[in-house]
């Protein structure tokens, strides 16, 4: 039994999605990029599963969460609300090693990998998930880089990123896909994304499969697209203001 979302909310989400897609298209046009090269990842943290269901009705296939427990619950609840739909879920938040096993059950990709110990924990967890059939295949991984070197918001130092990428590439149960960053507060986003693009290019030289550059959120996606983002992570511009403070 599929419960249709409230029509008001559906219309609201359809309108904000159209506006975000318009922003993406315009930003791509300004720098001569093909908008189909920029994936829209909708960050649903703190929003109810009914919104996720509505967004799947509107054709969205990629969602992100920043907490394992909230994500695991939403994934299970969505399977009840929309049994025929299986979107790709991604982890974008800070992740403790003891959550690796759980994340490997629901995540298609983890964007927030920033330490060797987390790489190892995810490799073991994904490998176990593959062995038990909980996972169909390897866990996709992005290396999260801290542009300003401040560890407060997660991410490894730029100098550590290549070593971390090598470690992911060596794990059979993980698949290195690229890099992710959040623009630091004390720096113009363009400077941060320019620096990130250099990190991404260096990583791609060594690992040509690592083509994903995850950068840009509701407030700065145009700047990120200008510097080559292939994945914008958008929460509030699609869903509205978050009901709770969320890191
Ligand atoms: C919440 C979050 C986003 C989305 O932020 P908005 O400003 O709401 O678009 C993107 N990336 C990460 C890592 C987040 O935690």
Looking up tokens 């320019």 gives 194
The pTM of the full predicted model, rounded to 2 decimals, is: 0.95
Per-residue model confidence (pLDDT) at position 243: 65
Distance between Cα 92 and ligand 1 center (Å):
8
Per-residue model confidence (pLDDT) at position 153: 82
Of 143, 147, 185, 217, the residue with max ligand 1 atoms within 8 A of its CB, to mutate for a pocket test, comes to 217
Which of 120, 140, 146, 139 minimizes the C-alpha distance to 199?
A: 146
How buried is residue 115: exposed, middle or buried, by Cβ count under 10 Å (0-12/13-18/19+)? middle
- Segment 99-106 mean pLDDT: 98
Residue nearest to atom 5 of ligand 1 (CA): 235
d(CA 100, CA 61): 23
pLDDT, mean over the chain: 95
* pLDDT of residue 147 exceeding 90: yes
Confidence of residue 31 (pLDDT cuts 50, 70, 90): very high
In the three-class reduction of DSSP (H, G, I as helix; E, B as strand; rest coil), residue 216 is classed as coil
Of 17, 44, 233, the residue with max ligand 1 atoms within 8 A of its CB, to mutate for a pocket test, comes to 233
- What does the angle CA 105 – CA 183 – CA 52 come to, to the nearest 5 degrees? 40
- Segment 112-140 mean pLDDT: 97
Distance between Cα 235 and ligand 1 center (Å):
6
In the three-class reduction of DSSP (H, G, I as helix; E, B as strand; rest coil), residue 192 is classed as helix
Distance between Cα 183 and ligand 1 center (Å):
11
- The pLDDT > 90 percentage for the chain reads 92
Q: Which atom of ligand 1 is nearest to the CA of 43?
A: 4
Distance between Cα 240 and ligand 1 center (Å):
12
- Segment 94-121 mean pLDDT: 98
Per-residue model confidence (pLDDT) at position 152: 81
Q: Which atom of ligand 1 is nearest to the CA of 112?
A: 13
Distance between Cα 243 and ligand 1 center (Å):
14
Confidence of residue 242 (pLDDT cuts 50, 70, 90): confident
pLDDT tens readout for residues 168-183:
999 999 999 999 999 9
pLDDT tens readout for residues 65-82:
999 999 999 999 999 999
């Amino acid at each position: 039994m599929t419960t249709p979302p409230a029509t008001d909310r559906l219309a609201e989400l359809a309108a904000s999605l159209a506006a975000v897609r318009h922003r993406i298209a315009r930003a791509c046009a300004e720098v001569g990029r093909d908008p189909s090269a920029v994936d829209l990842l909708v960050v649903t943290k703190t929003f109810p599963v009914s919104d996720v269901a509505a967004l799947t009705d509107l054709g969205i296939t990629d969602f992100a969460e920043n907490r394992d427990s909230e994500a695991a619950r939403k994934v299970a609840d969505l399977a009840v609300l929309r049994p025929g739909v299986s979107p790709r879920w991604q982890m974008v938040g800070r992740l403790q090693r003891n959550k690796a096993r759980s994340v490997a059950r629901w995540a298609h990709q983890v964007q927030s990998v920033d330490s060797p110990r987390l790489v190892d924990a995810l490799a073991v967890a994904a490998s176990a998930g593959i062995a038990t059939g909980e996972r169909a295949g390897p866990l996709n991984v992005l290396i999260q880089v801290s542009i300003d070197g401040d560890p407060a918001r997660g991410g490894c130092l730029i100098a550590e990123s290549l070593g971390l990428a090598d470690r992911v590439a060596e794990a059979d149960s993980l698949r290195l896909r690229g890099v992710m960053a959040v623009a630091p507060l004390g720096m113009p986003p363009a400077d941060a994304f320019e620096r990130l693009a250099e990190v991404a290019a260096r990583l791609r030289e060594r690992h040509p499969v690592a083509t994903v550059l995850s950068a840009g959120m509701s407030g700065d996606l145009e700047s990120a697209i200008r510097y080559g983002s292939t994945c914008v992570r958008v929460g509030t511009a699609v869903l509205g203001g978050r009901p709770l403070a969320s890191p």
